[in-house]
A and B are shown apart, each in its own frame.
Chain A
Amino acid sequence: MNPLTPKKKYIYLMLLPGLVVFIFAVILPLFMSVRYSLYQWSGGSSMEFLGIGNYLTLFSDSQFWHAFRNNLFIVFYSVIGQVGIAFVLASLINSRILKFKKFHRTVIFFPVVLSAVVIGFLWTMIYSRQYGLLNWLLESLNLNFLIKYWLDDPNIVLYSVTAPLVWQYIGLYLVIFLSAMQGIPREIYEVAEIDGATGFKKAIHITMPLLYDTILVAIMLCIAGNMKVFDHIYVMTGGGPGRSSMVMAQYAYNTSFSMFKLGYGSAISMGIFVLSLSLILLSRKVLGGFRNDS
């Protein structure tokens, strides 16, 4: 393809640095981890070979599956919240009736650039019982009966930790949708308006079908992004109270670094790897499949 191709050895030399770093920090640890997951090991010199023992434990480990279910819960609400709200906002911002479009876009995207740790602390303060923004707001609106221990009540904590995740990334999906909407020719809307279509109808019957692919990509992105949630939860609850907001990554962390079960921690990591990757690939297969059919 390129008549100016240098000698083979130069080509491989140019690829070497990237490959070395990548293999060293990603591929090798993964392979090593498969080995360690076969041992009972707390980091010291004594290692007891268990074979697939750790994996058998993992299969019947209710704590792990509880964490996995929490991950799925967060993924579910994030898909609805992030993709749904972002689509509504994008449709509004894209319409003629909205003023200050650029301002809104810039402002709504702002939380995306902040560190997840900062977001975690920010929301810990929003949720604070005594000094929190949320309870203050409820009080000023005379909704005192809604005031809660947002992060300390096991019954609602999962919703409380999901809200900041949804909130932080709506902006990302908003700009994805907005940039896709720019590709829709104005004339289509104009014709629809002559036929009497309202804003709502335009969104459902024109924007949605034309943005179908983008919406699917956004959903896949959302699934992949929320399977790996860790930082926010580490900061806000650490998986608590009890285990009520435990997610897989937090569970692997606690097992490995608080209880020093590195062998079992490796097995959990493999479990996360397989489950997350399958879900990501499955979502691509299923959603991508829809795309081909339509």
Chain B
Amino acid sequence: MTVKIFMRKLTALLLNIFVWLFSITCVFPFIWIVYSSLKTNREFSLNIISLPTNPQISNYISLIKDSNMYIAFFNSAYISLISVAIIILIGFITAYTLSRFEFKGRTIIYFLFLSGMLIPRHSLLVPVFIFFRNLGLYNTRYTLFLPYIAFGLPMTIFLMESFIKTVPIEIEESAVIDGCNIFDRLFRIIFPVCKPVISTSLILSFLGTWNEFPFALILIRSTRLKTLPLWLTNFNGQYSTDYTQLMAALVIASLPVIFVYLVFSKRVVQGMTAGAVKG
């Protein structure tokens, strides 16, 4: 009997160790980059794994002072924040209309938006490039808004539509009796009720736009308009031997999403699960 208990404890221990090892492989590479970015390139090349003996932030300082990374950071922030705000606004109005009212073409429009989650996005790169270039929308300050909003909408509409369906219509009825018009109903009655699904959509669209790369790659050429992922790929071309400098750049580029994940991890996980499974 004691042997049996011992064996069971041993198995439990081994399985725990196994999961621990796996967890470590998921974060260690990034942690390695964080502490290595505090080394000089010379120190790094002597021993790639050791902790910095004398941590210094010169890699970060030179990125901020001598490179144009701050422009890319600003561009990413500007495009992500505005895209997300518009995705939420348009997504909310569309989802509300689709879930509340019966009208001609409702099903078609609903499936049109849903198709956005199914259409293979990478097949649109060349078409979107040609189309935008012909219309003079190539390489401008507002170029990326269009694809980012268009590809952010389907998921947002989907999440919000199924949420609004669960909101009882009675709360709107009493509002109408009190003399509310349609916009009051939308923004003063329903919007506050939808807070959970709105914050989920906010986070998901932010992660999506901040991390987006292929559309930025084909639609943006000027350095002053580049977003962070695009800037990183060019930066690497220039400084491919300066490892620790690149590591510092990767850390800076990831800070906002890491922050969002640490603060809202529960919502991120929930939203991604719901969005993925429904999609």
Contact = CB atoms under 8 A, between A and B. Distances in A.
B169 A2 contact: yes
A12 B98 CA distance: 10
Interface string A216-237: 0100010010011011001100
A116 interface: yes
Contact of A93 (B12, B19, B26, B173): B19
Contacts of A92: 15, 18-19
A281 B198 CA distance: 30
Contacts of B218: 253, 257
Given A25-B128, A252-B125, A131 B48 contact: yes
Interface string B150-173: 110110010000000000010011
Nearest to B32: A133
B233 A115 contact: no
A114 B26 contact: no
Nearest to A256: B126
B119 interface: yes
Contacts of A114: 30, 211, 254, 257-258
B146 A115 contact: no
Nearest to B173: A4
Contact of B101 (A11, A108, A122, A234): A11
B240 to A, nearest CB: 9
A184 B146 CA distance: 42
Given A1-B102, A29-B131, A115-B257, A22 B112 contact: yes
A125 B94 contact: no
Interface stretch (A55-63, A153-161, A186-194, A265-273): A265-273
Contacts of B20: 104
Interface string B183-212: 001000000000000000000000100110
A103 interface: yes
Interface of B: 11-12, 15-16, 18-20, 22-23, 25-27, 29-30, 32-33, 44-45, 48-49, 90-91, 93-94, 96-98, 100-103, 109, 112-113, 116, 118-134, 146-147, 149-151, 153-154, 157, 169, 172-173, 176, 182, 185, 207, 210-211, 213-214, 217-218, 228-229, 232-233, 236, 243, 246-247, 250, 253-254, 257-258, 260-261, 265, 268-270, 272-273, 276-277, 279
Given A98-B16, A126-B29, A175-B273, 13 more contacts: A5-B103, A10-B182, A14-B97, A15-B93, A15-B109, A108-B22, A113-B257, A115-B210, A199-B11, A217-B277, A257-B218, A273-B120, A276-B120
